[in-house]
Amino acid sequence: MRYRRIPDETVRRMPFYLRGVRILSGKGHSSICSKSLADYLGINDWQIRKDFSYFGDFGKPGVGYDSAKLEKRISKILNLVCDHNVVLVGAGNLGSAILTFNGFGQYGFNIIAAFDNDVKKIGKKRGAVIIEDVSKIAKLKKRKVNLGIISVPASAAQEAADALVAAGVKGLLNFAPVRINVPKKIKVITIDIAIELARLPYYMASSQSQSAWG
């Protein structure tokens, strides 16, 4: 089969599909068609079928997908079938909010450690973890952590990324408003609420409608 690159936008939509399937399934839908999933998510059903088509055969068109199988399939595509240990660097305002948020478990993410360089924060409990001294980050290697969250100021983000990569982390979610450089094999996703806000007025001014995931 010819290699087809999966568009990032498709990958970006897959977790929404997973959440939609779980919610509909929780409401008693044992079978879900692309139309009902699309209606629930507020998008076009062709988009869902097109996105699914990148990953092979999902079932007979028009018949609907078995909910449990669909959930498993999407989870597998997203590599969410096994748990992922997550570490956070920077337990300030944002970091603390992340550490105390209890919605990560449903995707198999366990925040197992948090680091900071502020002596007033080190040793304090946030959520399920005790904040550790960032100078001890290398010890993470023994704890099988594969995802890192960066919530330090921009000036400290590269240093935090380097330490996390050296400790064996393979993917980084970066909240600092700065580009970080990592080896090619490491995936970085940067989230910036200010940037997201900055494009909202454009749609307001031009009255353009916006899809559920922008």
List residues binding ligand NAI (CB under 6 A): 89-95, 115-118, 121, 134, 151-154, 156, 159-160, 175-177, 191-193
Q: Which is nearer to ligand NAI, 92 or 123 (CB)?
A: 92
Comparing every residue's Cβ against ligand NAI, the nearest one is 92
- Minimum Å distance from CB 129 to ligand NAI? 14
- Minimum Å distance from CB 101 to ligand NAI? 13
- Minimum Å distance from CB 184 to ligand NAI? 24
Q: Which is nearer to ligand NAI, 33 or 182 (CB)?
A: 182
Q: Which is nearer to ligand NAI, 21 or 160 (CB)?
A: 160
- 138 near 168, Cβ under 8 Å? no
Separation between Cα atoms, residue 151 and residue 134, nearest integer Å:
13
- Minimum Å distance from CB 122 to ligand NAI? 9
Q: Which is nearer to ligand NAI, 24 or 134 (CB)?
A: 134
- Minimum Å distance from CB 209 to ligand NAI? 24
Q: Which is nearer to ligand NAI, 59 or 177 (CB)?
A: 177
